[in-house]
Amino acid sequence: MKKTFIVLSFAITLLMAYAAVPGPSSSGAPASHTGAPGEKTCGAVGCHDDNVINEGTASVSIEVGDGIKKYEAGQTYPIKIRITDADKLRFGFQITALNAQTQTNVGNFTITDTKRTQIVKNAYQLKERQYATYTFNGTDAVTKGIGEWFVNWTAPKNSTEPVTFYVGAVSANDDMSDKGDKVYTSSLTLNK
């Protein structure tokens, strides 16, 4: 009985030690934080809010397909979201696609990498907008200084308007808090 208690105590101690090891501390950005019209970013709403947005050393890019400038109705395109910031090991992002004139949701995102990305929606405002964001595992850099995610976007079958993709991204200092991190925004418009 005493031996079982010692083994059980040791196992519990190991589990507690493992749980205390630092790792990514977020499971995705809350919806409506891309900096799109009507939205704020994570740099202005109480999380990564101790630095000025778009001031820092990172760069953010959105690439649709192989760099297309026009989309075709009903077609599905791979989208790459990338943030680079030398020596950083943690990153995050959120993207939405809006009609460039009406600022309403356009098309549909689908997840191609469930380990690193997920879909979220806002239950309170801007409910019609769809967002792709990172997961808990998606905060890891793909290589030192680079955060990168892939999702698919399907254009609506009857769209004739330009679409603008808005992305908000975070370059994190990996100190297990949301302080000292930098927030960046970018957008890309495709014509029909």
Let me know if 106 is exposed, middle or buried by CB neighbors in 10 A (0-12, 13-18, 19+).
buried
Are 129 and 37 within 8 A, CB to CB? no
Q: For residue 97, report the phi and psi dihedrals to the nearest 5 degrees.
A: -125, 125
The model's pLDDT over 29-49, given as tens digits with 9 standing for 90+, comes to 777 779 899 986 765 555 655
Q: What is the pLDDT of residue 10?
A: 45
Whole-number Å distance between alpha carbons of 141 and 105: 29
Ranges assigned E (strand) in 35-87: 59-64, 76-84
Residues 141-171: tens digit of each pLDDT = 999 999 999 999 999 998 889 999 999 999 9
> Using alpha carbons only, how large is the chain's radius of gyration in Å?
19
pLDDT confidence of residue 8: 44
